[in-house]
Structure 1
Amino acid sequence: MTYSIRSGVGSRQAWQPIVAFVCTALMAGAVMVQAADPDPLQDFCVADLSPSGPRVNGLPCKDRANVTSKDFLFTDFRTSGNVSAKGTNAYPSFATVFEYPALNTLGISHVRLDFGIGGVVPPHTHPFSSETLFVVQGSIYTGFVSFDGVLYAETLQKGDIYIYPKGTLHFQINVGTGPAITFNSLNSQYPGFLVAANQLLLSNIPAAVLESSLGISNATDLNLLEASVPPNW
């Protein structure tokens, strides 16, 4: 069967509403794809983290009558993290909605990274946000791998900023001669934190899958790899 569209003013007029609808739908789709957390519907919604709070896609609001100025203050970044605790001589201190409930619905969170000499934050992703890194102290080599497998990396000094696009694998290492500190911001109240080695080697993926994927010929090599992953990330 052959289909045809007749030319003429009448047919063009008939198609105009359809074309307008398609264009609008495509534009709306593009906005949704690029968005991070949705815009809030009120000025603030301090999260209710109590176990009895209702479970929703996000977190419920604390009763506004019980909110004080202290709810908007976060002081945990005043002290450095214990860099020996993670096994790579670096430590992330998080300010997500779960540590800082006032961030609820506001589409932002922060991380303080403390590095000893040679300290490493291993390759990881944030599935829900992009991220910027600001060097407060020291010298950091950092970068991300794009979706087409290209590494973009630079050595940063105090005062420099670097960005990691949403969902890309990225890392940080202290390449200076002393301790280093960075302050990172993310455009999600809970960006997620997926460490590549943990996801791959410590998540009970069948050994046959890993051996074939990594080109490992025996279980002994795989066991050595699994045992070498820092346990606390």
Structure 2
Amino acid sequence: MIGVFDSGSGGLTVLKEVRVRLPKADILYFGDIKNAPYGTKTHNELVRLTKDAVELLQSMGAHHIVSACNSVSAALALSSPLPHLTEMTEPTAASFRGTPARIVLTATPATIDSQIYQRAFHEIDKEIATVAIPELAGAIEFGSSDAEIERIIRDAFATVDLSRYDTLILGCTHYPLVEYVFKYIFKYVPIEIIDPAVAVAKRVEERLAQSEEGGGTTRFLISRESALFRDRVAHLWSHVGTPRIEVIE
């Protein structure tokens, strides 16, 4: 079984891509809504929350863990790495190896400040620009209006000259949930918007394709009740009926 976790709904974008590539795998998803968003947590808090989430998933049978949160990747880079875990940054950077892409990455302050993406891209001899958006992940998780989401994004990019770049990486897994807002704001800018979930799911497939044969089940756990989370799961998994979502204390 594969375990996937995030601070809430953001990791659903990663889960969906993993499911596409590994249709027979059994997957357990944990959304830690009670502690969302992770992007504003301290390093020590992130390490504790990560270890708690990993222990929970392992106790329920997951043998490989996917951290669907860039802030967690940042914390792990500064502490002891966990075995059998796929994180976001290295697969994302590797997907640009040898390309001429001129990249700007937007993410939470925890991710940007950790320098984890900057180091990952430096390893492939590529430098990137960054834009931190402190409010956005929480606004998405807790259902702010599109108008408020748009305001937050516009404010963050107000002084950024996007003509210098041709690629925008959404470096927080919540951000693809409002990719349509990014596309609306930058509709006149010739820039490609990238969801790292694709590269991460490909890496999981490369590691586990030969070993993940199950019933293709998907089970959801959340640490606090959330009607918005349930709505997003129902929307993304509408083709398979009503998903099972459990609230754990």
* TM-score, normalised by the number of residues in structure 2: 0.24
Structure with the higher fraction of residues in helix conformation: 2
Q: Which gives a bigger RCO, structure 1 or 2 (Cα 8 Å, sep 6+)?
A: 2
* TM-score, normalised by the number of residues in structure 1: 0.25
- Which has the larger Rg? 1
